[in-house]
Structure 1
Amino acid sequence: MENKAHALAAGVFVALLSLLLLGLASWLTRDTGKRDIYEISTRETVTGLQPQAPVRYRGVDVGKVETIGFDTKTPGNVLLRLEVDSAAPITADTFATLGFQGVTGLSFVQLDDSGKPSPRLVPNKDDPPRIPLRPGLLAKLQDKGEKILDQVEQVSVKLNQVLSDPNQKRLAAALDNVGEAAASVSKLSTTMAAILNAQLGPERVNIPAFVKNADATLTSVRGTSDEAKKAIAEIGDTARRLNAKDGPVDRLAEGAEGLAHAADSFNAATLPRINRVTEDTSRAVRQLGRAVNGINDNPQSLIFGAGPAQPGPGEAGFTPPGASR
């Protein structure tokens, strides 16, 4: 009887302890805050994301993922249902990305915004507002990785073309030419050094005498420069005297102006008269030439006159030249 009583007491104690632990766990995990429902519909993959995964707003826990399923409104999309703390600043500018927790491969929903002023999203349990999901770091790396691989493949193809056998031979020939050119330059520099040493070395050039000659030349140059400065100053004085008021330049300008007026008067009055006289003289000379030609052709016209005019073509009595009469 005592064994049964001890067993019963132990069972009751275990049951009470189990109920106490369940109540403590329920109390510790209770949700004391008010939460709103939001949805995310996306065609991006949600690998590593599970129900009850945390939802964070700029790193702060604000909720959890309630369910993961498929969107009946948009076939092919994945639908995430989120429970977010009502105090979280969810606005129309808020967007979501998928983050990863260390090396475990588990994902969580990261909420953020661009910082622009925007109205808050109004919660609605019957038709929850939707938050857009932008590509995360893994998706961007995947897209960029494909492009990088394509570029690497192109670079490798071009590198193979550059390093082909004909190009390698050309490169080797170019290196040989560069080596020969370097050797030629070295020989040329040695030759030039020898020539300069032979022409300008201590045994050929008296350095002290050369320095003295250079000093004398510089002194002569300074004297010439002073004389040139004096000549320039005299030229400047002469130019000022020429350009002075009522000076030679002004008188020359007045003479040129008078000459221009005289030329205008000549062109306006005298020249037209000379032109008319010239035209009358030309007319008289032409008339005199015609009279002389007529006298040469018919000298008797001076005594008997010019006589009747000869009939022309188409007139009665006209006889073509050379025709028999």
Structure 2
Amino acid sequence: METRANLVTVGLFMLALIAAGFGSAFWLLKGSDSAGRAFVTVVFPGSVSGLVTGANVTFNGIKVGEVAKLSFSPADPERVVARITVDPATPLKADSHVSLGYQGLTGASFVQIWGGSAQARNLLETPENDRVMLAERSTVQDIMEGAQRVLARVDGAVATIDQLVKDNAKSVETTTRNVEAFSNVLAENKDGVRDFMGSVGKAADVLAKISAKAETLVGHVDDLVVSVDKVKVASIVDHADATMGRLDEASKRVDGILAKLDGLAGSDEGKGLAVKASDFLSEAKDAARAIRETAVAFQSKSGDLGAGLRDLRDFIADGRRAVSTIDRAVGNLDRDPKRLIFGGQGGNVPEYSGNRR
């Protein structure tokens, strides 16, 4: 009975000793933690996906604390309030920046703090209730949220396409068969297709050659237009106008001569003379008209002439000589019509003799 009592006493003593040890350790740890840490409140404007209690807190990439508590803002449920503990020696300034960060491919979130000017006040030297920082939206967070929205839209698009295929299964099958039939036709006529493509290539080569020749022709036309001497063309046109004027005067004189010949129409000699003179004058008028038409045609196309100006000048000179000859002949005929028919100096018409055989 006595031995049994001693064992119970020893057991109770050991339990009390262990409890005292744990209590002392907890008291020491709590005291050291509260003495060596400073509390700061961080307010996040949106989701803090991946952030948990105990997550790291970094300042300029160096770990300075951890997340102690997460909760919602009573004033705005879209905001998340994180209570963090940091090393009191951290140079946390009032203008420092804070945001949510992500570690590697694991997606583990942490609180990252950076920046702050040397002239700004130290945030840890202010009362604990005033240590409030408003977090900024991180680029990674925006990218992840955007990716989630894109994935949602892609999922909706895939669902729509799937439903479209189901609703149009027969049409899709028919289209597939048509494509397959077309492919088979191409395979069966590959030689013809090859020849056709070769013909197209040859046609393209011919068109290229034609284009080159056309370009050369255009260049020659440009050279021809440039080579035309505008002064010479104007001079030739003036000569042509003068020639046409003289032709008009000659035509008027021919009309007068024809009127005079009408007076000789009563006699036999007059009739023969009138017929011959009329024939001659008609030929003269035809020649004058041909020269006039040639001059008019040249005048209308003078802008396109170039290398043929020299031959044209010779032609105008010949035309002027011909007009001068016609003018002299018309003058002689006007002065003495009988001389044109019978010749001689006197211009006397031979008398008719009935005895002449």
TM surpasses 0.5? no
TM-score norm. by structure 2 comes to 0.40
Q: Which has the higher helix share?
A: 2
TM-score norm. by structure 1 comes to 0.42
